[in-house]
């Protein structure tokens, strides 16, 4: 048996393999050039590198309050304005996040109602799966 | 070389240079229940009732959570942090209650919102896995 640096094992479970393009990084707050009347956005574009024109399955998370709490992406295409959780009268401006994929990239998009965090970084985490996905 | 006992090709060995989802805590047993008091009726409308509930994070590290929730113990929905336009009364076919969760190195925090005029008993199934 040769050792190639790869891990090989048998299991009675199935596994979701993660693509090397999965990332845990940070992205800046609102881009003031991306103002759409009542909200700002900022995009982080992640080339997923999957072969065969696949659109991958993915999971996206972020830390909207910059306090170490990891939330799943908001993923509500109807209502994406700040803030991510119901506060009803709260004054914080924590972003919401939508994530979407195409044949080349997974895009994480933060939405803000103010631009006060333009120079502030937000931690984001994106898991991109290796062997699953639709061929568009 | 496959194990001689391997009988199902769908369970074939894993060979990868990348990482996989490594579950930090098993799904079984990771059930949390919590009851949120009834929403308050005001002027003929139910006001949004919000609540949070915090438990220790058994993984003791920042990680990712997958969660589904139920308010009747039968129908489960993906976590959702925010409830919009429930209507008063709640339109037919709408649940009128959401639950979401966030994880830091020490705690799992559940967030709830509902517009229901009676106590809502939430059940959450959740699982944690590594960020990378």
**Token reading at B33:** 């229940």
Per-residue pLDDT, averaged over A21-30, amounts to 96
* Residue B1, pLDDT above cutoff 50: no
Percent of chain B at pLDDT exceeding 70: 78
Kindly list the domain boundaries of chain A, sorted by start residue. 23-135
pLDDT of residue B9: 47
Per-residue pLDDT, averaged over B80-87, amounts to 74
The Cα-based distances of B56 to A35, A36, A86, B30, B53 in angstroms read 39, 40, 22, 12, 10
Name the architecture of domain A23-135.
Answer: Sandwich (2.60)
pLDDT of residue B101: 96
Say which of B50, B64, B102 has its CB closest to residue A59: B64
* Confidence category of residue A121, pLDDT binned at 50, 70, 90: very high
pLDDT of residue A40: 92
Of A54, A66, A68, A62, nearest to A109 by C-alpha is: A62
pLDDT of residue B13: 53
Using an 8 Å CB-CB cutoff, list residues of chain A that contact chain B. 5-20, 22-24, 59, 61, 67-72, 74, 76, 78-79, 84-88, 125, 127, 130
Neighbours of A45 (CB within 10 A): 10
Model confidence pLDDT, tens digit, residues B12-31: 555 655 677 767 765 556 89
Residues of B whose CB is below 8 A from A8: 13-15
Burial B96-108 (b: 16+ CB within 10 A, else e): bbbbbbbbbeeeb
User: Who's near A2: CB < 8 A, 6+ residues apart?
Assistant: none
Per-residue pLDDT, averaged over A94-108, amounts to 94
Contact A17 B18 (CB under 8 A): yes
User: Who's near A135: CB < 8 A, 6+ residues apart?
Assistant: A52, A53, A54, A55
Say which of A19, A67, A84 has its CB closest to residue B82: A84
Report ipTM (2 d.p.): 0.85
């Amino acid at each position: 048996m040769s050792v190639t640096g790869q891990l090989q094992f048998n299991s009675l479970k199935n596994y979701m393999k993660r693509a090397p393009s999965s990332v845990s990084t940070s992205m800046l707050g609102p881009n003031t050039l991306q103002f759409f009347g009542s909200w700002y956005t900022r995009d982080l574009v992640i080339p997923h590198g999957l072969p065969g024109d696949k659109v991958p399955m993915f999971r996206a998370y972020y830390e909207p309050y910059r306090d170490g709490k990891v939330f799943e992406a908001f993923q509500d295409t109807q209502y994406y304005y700040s803030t991510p959780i119901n506060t009803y009268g709260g004054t914080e401006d924590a972003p919401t996040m939508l994530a979407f994929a195409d044949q080349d990239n997974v895009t994480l998009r933060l939405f803000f109602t103010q631009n006060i965090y333009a120079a502030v970084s937000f931690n984001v985490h994106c898991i991109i799966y290796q062997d699953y996905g639709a061929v568009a | 070389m496959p194990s001689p006992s391997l009988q199902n090709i769908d369970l074939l060995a894993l060979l990868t240079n990348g990482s996989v989802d490594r579950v930090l805590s098993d799904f079984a047993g990771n059930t949390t229940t919590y009851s949120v008091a009834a929403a308050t009726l005001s002027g003929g409308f139910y006001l949004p009732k919000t609540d949070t509930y915090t438990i220790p994070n058994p993984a003791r590290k920042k990680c990712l959570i997958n969660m589904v929730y139920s308010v009747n113990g039968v129908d489960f929905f993906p976590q959702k942090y925010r409830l919009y336009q429930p209507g008063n009364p709640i339109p037919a076919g709408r649940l009128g209650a959401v639950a979401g969760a966030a994880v830091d190195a020490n705690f799992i925090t559940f967030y709830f919102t509902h517009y229901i005029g009676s106590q809502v008993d939430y059940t959450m199934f959740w699982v944690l896995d590594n960020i990378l």
